[in-house]
Structure 1
Amino acid sequence: MTERIHRHLFTASVILVGLNLRPILASIGPLLDSIQRDTGLNDSAASLLTTLPVIMMGVCLLATTPLRKTIGDRQGILLGIALIFLACLARIWWPGGAPLLLTAAIGGIGIAIVQALMPLAIRRNAGGAAASVMGFYSTAIMGGALIASMASPWLSEKWHWPSTLGFWALPAILGIIAWLIGGDRSEPERIVAQPGIYRHRRAWALLIFFGLGTGAYTLVLAWLPPFFTQLGWSAQAAGNILGALTAAEVVAGIGVSFLVSHSRDRRPALFAALALLLAGMVMLALSPLTLAWPAALAAGLGIGALFPLSLIVALDHGEGSQVAGVILGFVQGGGYILAASLPFAAGVLRQNLADLTPAWWLMAALCLVLGALALRFRPSDRISTQF
């Protein structure tokens, strides 16, 4: 196999694997009212169907180095996809509230393993195109959410919701096959522990930035459809608004993939993404029915650019794949735990206030915090291997 063919196969396998990292989350929101009705889950407990996988993703990502030492990158990614497959499949036969939470945790572990190891595999296999392949990978993640959010309400009209949730085991099979054919072929690295990153202020700034930015993604993923069904929309229409938002995310992610290599300074792109996200949140808070579609477009473009950019900025700070791996494990691990707090807080607000508008205002305020953090991310900054 020539080097060029391998790189094309590797990129294709990365995309197919990435498509499987969000359907287990994105398929919940459009079906949440039916799930709650049949299982008796209240709003706070129902929010755990999205929050729990994100928490598990964070906890597992903090253990990136031990994970790599134990199972290796190639086998680890394969294991992660297999866990996603099993979690989706189990939902067909065990659809109760407790089994749904258990499969959410299992799926979250699978997602975490892939997300801990894939950026490092990309950095080793993609060479000078690593930033672009990372952009395609991030876009594929959002693309999986788009497909699941739009297809799930339609599938649920033909099947009951447990079968709809279980359907997403099928693309996981494709991801497994793709990774077996075109996955990581690089020589295994000698993995050296890099303790002490938690003492580095810049690492914490990157963690908070990634966590709050990803929190916007998990927030809309979990609660945008229920927000609109509460306003009188049908489940199909609410799924479509989430689909439109996710489609905008994909467009923004593709744009980042093609443009990211043109400048080493990521801050102008970060500020543009945050401005769009802020505009979307304000429109949802002030006039959700009149401005639903412009709000979805603006928020989607902002989130879609912010997610890959935050990963790329974290990669920029590492000198070599070893340091980059430690940084990404810390940033994503703690960041996902932080991100999980936003959909859970929104669930508590909805249960106690019967209104999600304060959640949109909260995210709007956090955009200002993110802007202040982005000012610090100069292209010349690096994190020392000595931490």
Structure 2
Amino acid sequence: MSEEETTTLDRPAADRAGTPLPHATAQPTWLGPVLIVGIVLAALNLRPAITSLGALFEETRTGLGMSGTVAGLITSVPALCFAVFGVTAPRLSRRFGPVAVVCAGMAAVAAGLLIRPFASGAAGFLAASALSLAGIALTNVLLPVIVKRYFPDRVGTMTGLYSMALAAGTSLAAAATVPLTEALGGSWRTGLLIWACLAVAAVLLWLPITRAARRADRAQAAATGSGASAAVRADAGPRVVRSRTAWALACYFGLQATGAYITMGWLPQIFRDAGVSASTAGVLLAVTMVMGVPLAFVIPGLAGRMRNQGAIAVTLGVFGLTGYLGLSFAPAAGAWAWALLLGVSNCAFPLVITMIGLRAKSPAGVVRLSAFAQSTGYLISIPGPLVIGTLYQHSGGWDLPLALMAGLLVPQIALGVLAGRDRTIEDECGMRD
């Protein structure tokens, strides 16, 4: 393959002294632009499986004859699947390479979305949903790894790009599922099925990306005489459980996810109990979610240019505290302002994803850190919405739940400051690149 036909995407192919690094690989010239599109398309598929179901949940419950217990189980399954299946990502990445695993993850998302509308009972529906969520979990963990490996000098920009796509997919599925369902005949099965088209498109794009990445890995293995691809050889990552920064990132991830799930699940009810109409309450939630689209691009780019990201974590936390304070004292009068403030606060997700890419030196370190932080974080987030619902039911109002929601932001801010310090898990664990 000639120089005119190839380009190196692993930009740090040489260190500052000009010495080639062992993970540098030559890639086809078309792979860079196509990989960018593939990352965006994969990110668009990371939430529609969840938010499209939320939009048609009542119709789905009725159509499948779900009990209240089963319905409650389905609402808690996403975070559980993200935690359980995310743990497997490092092993699969070492065995097959992160690109191939993301392609397989997109295939699992597509298969689950294609199967579940045809389920005749709750068990089949739950199993198909779990298949999609398993694919989402793997992709959640490995997209930061692919960004670190192929765009190491643009971690902030690329993280912002796919975070923005993730937020757009979330909002699009929440807002468009019901109108599309009505336009296509009104069946909840059709309304859920249409999102499989987006996942199938992602699979079709990731197939050639996977083939190109595999050929490049084989060429590198042949050139170095290692007999294994870089992805497989990169097994000597740090033991992240020994890193304070890794634990800070995991707990920060868990608390921000807790706040996001609580907001998505309960914010409309808070407004409705304050006298806001149901339709307006839905629009307010959409406003909160849409805020994540532009900010999900801006925040990672800003974070990537800073040596310490703690100031951003503090700023986002203060926005959240102000929003919860406003909901406590004037929920209806300042509804639009509180929705905007909480939308800004929920952009802690793109921040923590960016920090995961910055707190490790190598793709091997990123895959371990990403799996640990996300799996641990999603486990932490599981009880949040349930606890808030219990407090609301037993206290008869929102004063106590809102106090807890605001209180959780205090340790979240502190953890964000710790996670944002300019250090890497390799340094903390005494490992070398």
Q: What TM-score do you get using the length of structure 2 for normalisation?
A: 0.80
Matched with 1:202 is: 245
Between 71-80 and 353-362, report the one with greater CA deviation: 353-362
Say if 1:31 and 1:360 are closer, same or farther in 2 by CA, change over 3 A. farther
Pair 116,315 (structure 1): closer, same or farther in 2 beyond 3 Å:
same
1:220 aligned onto 2:263: yes
Q: 1:14-163 residue pairs with structure 2 within 5 A?
A: 14-38=39-63, 39-42=65-68, 45-94=70-119, 96-158=121-183, 159-163=186-190
After TM superposition, the structure 1 stretch with the greater mean CA deviation from structure 2, 227-236 or 9-18, is: 227-236
1:260 maps to: 303
Q: 159, 166, 174: which is aligned to 2:193? A: 166
Gaps of 5+ in 2: 8-28, 218-228
CA distance in 2, matches of 1:170, 1:88: 9
Distance 1:122 1:286, change over 3 A: same
User: 1:222 is matched by which residue type in structure 2?
Assistant: G
User: Does the CA-based 8 Å contact 2:271-2:281 persist in structure 1?
Assistant: yes
Secondary structure of the residue aligned to 2:85 is helix
Per-residue deviation, residues 342-374 of structure 1 (Å, max 9, x unmatched): 233344456666766644432211111111222
Q: Which has the larger radius of gyration?
A: 2
How far 1:5 sits from its partner (Å)? 4.6
Q: Give the Cα–Cα distance (whole angstroms) in 1 for the partners of residues 205 and 399 of structure 2.
A: 42
Which residue of structure 2 lines up, in the alignment, with residue 381 of structure 1? 423
2:423 aligns to what SS in structure 1?
coil
- 1:273 aligns to 2:307 (yes or no): no
Q: Distance in 2 between matches of 1:229 and 1:170?
A: 35
The 1:17/1:343 distance shift into structure 2, 3 A limit, reads same
Distance 1:287 1:99 in 2: 44
Q: Structure 1 length as normaliser, TM-score? A: 0.88
- CA distance in structure 2 between the partners assigned to 1:342 and 1:59 by the alignment: 18
Mapped to 1, the partners of 2:284 and 2:349 lie a distance apart of: 20
Distance 1:216 1:52 in 2: 17
How far the C-alpha of 1:97 sits from its partner, in A, is: 3.6
CA pair 162-233 structure 1, distance change in 2 beyond 3 A: farther
Aligned to 2:16: none
The Cα of 1:379 is off from its aligned counterpart by 3.7
Shift of 1:321: 1.7
1:238–1:25 distance in 2 versus 1, CA, 3 Å: farther
Measured against aligned partners, the alpha-carbon deviations of 1:273-316 in whole angstroms (never above 9, x if no partner) come to 11122223333444433333222211112212x11111222222
Which of 167, 187, 203 aligns to 1:176? It is: 203
Identify the range of structure 1 (119-128 vs 237-246) with the bigger mean alpha-carbon deviation: 237-246
Post-superposition offset of 1:142: 1.3
Q: In terms of mean alpha carbon deviation, does 29-38 or 97-106 score higher?
A: 29-38
CA gap 1:150/1:356 in 2 versus in 1, 3 angstroms: farther
After superposition, give the CA deviation of every residue in 1:134-165 in whole Å (9 maximum; x if it has no partner): 12112211111010111123234442323222
Report if the CA contact (8 A) 1:80-1:110 is conserved: yes
Does the 8 A contact of 2:106 with 2:136 survive in 1? yes
Deviation at 1:35, TM superposition (A): 4.0
Structure 1, unaligned runs of 5 or more = none
The 2-side partners of 1:58 and 1:95 are apart by 28
Q: Percent identity?
A: 26
| 1:275 partner letter | V
Question: Structure 1 pair 317/372, CA: closer, same or farther in 2 (3 Å)?
Answer: same
Which one of the candidate residues 304, 319, 324 is aligned to 2:361?
Answer: 319
Structure with the greater relative contact order (CA < 8 A, sep ≥ 6): 1 or 2?
A: 1
Match of 1:309 among 341, 346, 351: 351
1:344 matches 2:386:
yes
What CA RMSD, in Å, does the superposition of the two structures yield over aligned residues? Answer: 2.8
Q: Write the letter of the residue equivalent to 1:179.
A: W
In the alignment, does 2:235 pair up with 1:192? yes
282-291 or 260-269, larger mean C-alpha shift: 282-291
Answer whether contact 1:48 1:101 (CA < 8 A) is retained: no
In the alignment, which residue of structure 1 is the partner of 2:405?
A: 363
* Structure 1 residues 16 and 224, CA gap change in structure 2 (3 angstroms): same
Amino acid at match of 1:374: G
Aligned to 2:286: 243
Q: For the Cα contact (< 8 Å) 1:91–1:163, is it kept in 2?
A: no
